[in-house]
A and B are shown apart, each in its own frame.
Chain A
């Protein structure tokens, strides 16, 4: 498969869609149509929704990370002005147990009640809810609920939680081990290590992160007793999944439950999962027969949104005398938090260890993962979800291995890459890579950095007492999360297809309904581009609808960089069905054989007879008029598809950073950051660039700034924006982007996926650069986030700096 290159070193220029012809719209960098409403405040988020008679809910949360609940006294709260109701676990008459949607053989499924009744297991675990006329009244009354606790020892780190003498969090399990899982060939891997010329080993910590979507989670629930319908507006990345799960949790029939995601201000994974809060809002509305609104405060966001990463890993690489990788052995202890969140078991297992081959031909890999219950909030998918952790392990080990065999890290990678003609490539960890050309992205990145020249500059600078370094990150990810059958074999309790409806209105405009649920990605723009291209209909005549269980037949939502690959695939299939039906109508009206009717640029034309033609809009009109359509045909022009691809897609690329480290202060300055990404065909290069930029910012956040830190009592000590360093624009360097295009064969658009690429790639590019800069001091590893103090200590402890 051919790989094309594009270059955006100076940034992609956005284009006004009015200046683009319909034939050219797919692939053009048009401005996002959703932005005017988002930047002007017109967009409606969940908390903007007002309903008559609406009440407000506030949560009573445990301030302790681990405690027995002795008594909950709600009497004072109940007496307070404006209080409508106070509920504890006893007052709830529903199953109220949050389910796990991904199972592993050894998984300990524990009860995850929506309100704790006997024990709280993390700071923020909910004990009671208060509903009041006003939001302030609800919060004041929540403060007045008196809970007596008997405190228990707590543990925040997976390694400590797995120790024999650790406090046990779920007594029915007997230990804190949530699962014990393995992949790969243990015997072959042991042999590779025995036979290795040399080996390297690193203890790597991939810290817990807090997703921090700009919009906190929120729900407005409205119950209609006459029809028994329960309507929810909520911050959801996947309304249909939430509806299915919630119908069980609150025992309300799925067809009487509707969930709509209004504008959603980011999620990064944190709005995939089914939390207690949303279910409690629904239950309160149903019980009170009045609308109820709950909006998390930023503080609640910090202590209750599912967190990400949280791995403690030992990684080892075996090498032969020529610098070829001969084996990889990895053991990871993964923090699962206090309970198992919706898709939690899959993240440190199938979404992690299956990517441990990276871009390399590694003959044998063996990985074991132990999941640990701890007293932190549940840990689940966060942008990248498992794949950043894998890429970090591989790329840090590769850097260390190159040093061990005294080879330039670029050359070491080149030597070990899966070759361009080696695809599809079967890894030893159950993946079949679709397509790729890894050498090309490396070459491009080297060229952009002027790599050879940099090495000379670096040498010179060291002589002058300045420490420059370059870090490479050759990442790969599996995304477009789909093939239902495959994920089913791996333990998913859901299919991961996507559905769409493409519907013409009689006047010739089009609405496309898709089961994904965008929350900032720009789907309104990109999906309309796809439809405009397929149907030859003007971009402005296409409306995109997402995120509503009443409007959209079914859907699995937006996460795992799946929307373009899977949702886009579903759109193309529906559009093609519409075109085929239209062809029969056109043929009938033009008195031709359907096989002789060609469709191009929105026109049906009888082959060889240019004057016998009809636009697809006219065909749509005719289909609804139904006065003159084929006898055996139903009126109307619309089609539904469920698209289930054969495989994941595998975007890849090379990110590289050049940094300078100040040995006196540990400060890190970026000189360059280049990103060469291959995300397959690009529907909209401006949106691709935006996703890459944002992803890199989040990755740099992990590398240098962010960390959920817990004290000995498992209390979060970075629980606000004052203490948890979300990177600011001034922390992020100019980013130069370029791309290569290797089509994915597994979906009709040939797209891969771009939402997570930057976040997966960036951390190890930065850490490798810092480690490279500090090579003269013998520094081999620094734990993320690379705070100035950690960097300074690493230098200092090796005798450098002031």
Chain B
């Protein structure tokens, strides 16, 4: 199964193919599928080419190298559904059905694709087989910690100098990954958090930056290894906004089969969406209390979702929110009580004004403003009409004279 980090496949598909042949030989399988997102056309075309080459040299097909062992590989293109990463949903998708998870047991190893025993593994796992077989288990185990052996590939991205794929030995600290390998944060900004493990993972702050990268340690601090996504955030990233972003994602990707995930994450999203709202005249005087109560109830809601969802998507959906709440409580409180977003991301809490001394009157912002909230004569200072402004930030992006102030 191919995801984000497995972009390395663009480079070394033969390692995967060999690993799959060995794995198939071990379990006596004659058919293998590589499930790859259709969004990665380059990976698909390289894989297709490599499979053809292997077939040409008799490494795939019937009676491989006179071993009487037959094995064929097929690429299945995903059709854009995150939940299809879940193993039972993946099987449903290959069978041509809606990719909805099923309760386990029966586990795929007992009854999987077409009702036959099936083994599902990550691309990284399968690619490791080749090196382990040829160099031995001791060699593989010589790298890593006591419980997490070997190496792990991460996709560094976000606010970090060196982006791209890195393979690190298990057990080095997050700090080393961010500041040594990743080269730190660009533009002298301050590190705020690193999000590990994709939408199921957590956001880890500076206070736990000395955490070792291994399965157990990451779990202890509220994140997980997951897909190997490693997104670095700096002081310009708002943690409330990140929580809202992930909940939105989960909401649109939830398959809708079970209630806790389908409805519960919707309620979580509603609670989070009420945090960054601006104060308005005539607002219900209990509004503040309600928003606060929402956050208090969030933890319980999250526990129910985690314990009762059918598949990993729902079970891990609360993680990014909970870790944010745990490590960035002060930021939530600031949004709730002071109605302020220190990173300037929650647009609703901002006021846009034009510095009349810097404005050249070019009129660019006026043309860009979608709600006609900016007025002014060409060549003269422009003004923002606050009640028309929807705080979209377009004027800020377009002004070439840095005349737009935000606070």
Bound pair: A and B?
no
Interface residues of A (CB under 8 A from B): none
Interface residues of B (CB under 8 A from A): none
